Homo-oligomer: A and B are copies of this chain.
Amino acid sequence: MPRNRPDVAREEKIDDIVRVAARALREGGYEALSLSGVAQELGLARGAIYWYFASKDDLLVAAAKRIFDEALSSPPSLGQYAKRIEWAMEQLAMLGQVTSALRDRSHHSEAVASFETAFHRRLCDGLRNVLRPNVPAARLDDVADSVVVFVQGLLSMGLAPAVRRDRLKFLLRQLVPRVS
């Protein structure tokens, strides 16, 4: 059996690592994301990962990116704006361990910090588009930013889904005036 695999494309090998890492991260958080575990599952030595990722935090970023992309890839195309926001919130709520790992590591890794910032910007941009038909242009930026902050808060508090949804509805009633 060959020790290395020069025949397999580099992207494919990276993809294997990220896939295994993403599952560990999603299911067990930062604690469960271990280079030893990932390597073992792929039949590699621990050190092999470092040929593709400079550190555990870099692998964390790659895994989180994949998880979020997958979770937000198929939004409901129709429906009220409130339902779409709720959908995104619930998708993210299932990934609490991922979010909190990013939050914690962003204090130690520049790569994690900048990924987190980029992700927040992405959420704000998406939300602006969803809210545009329902919010006066002058208020759009403020309202979108506020809703993202609020959702982030809801997610960071580990609330029950029903409570989460009620709080979100309350805030949307306050910020998005009924068009009449």
What is A's interface to B at a CB cutoff of 8 Å?
29-31, 96-97, 100-101, 103-104, 106-108, 113, 116-117, 120, 142, 145-146, 148-154, 156-158, 167, 170-171, 174-175
Contacts and interface: CB of A to CB of B under 8 A. Distances in A.
Contact of A153 (B96, B100, B156): B156
B107 A100 contact: yes
Contacts of A120: 157
- Interface SS of chain A: helix, strand, loop or mixed? helix
A131 to B, nearest CB: 14
B146 A149 contact: no
A146 B153 CA distance: 9
Nearest to A146: B171
Given A30-B104, A153-B152, A158-B106, A146 B170 contact: yes
Given A100-B107, A148-B153, A149-B154, 16 more contacts: A29-B104, A29-B107, A30-B104, A100-B100, A101-B104, A103-B103, A103-B104, A142-B170, A146-B150, A146-B171, A146-B174, A149-B167, A150-B153, A151-B153, A153-B153, A174-B174
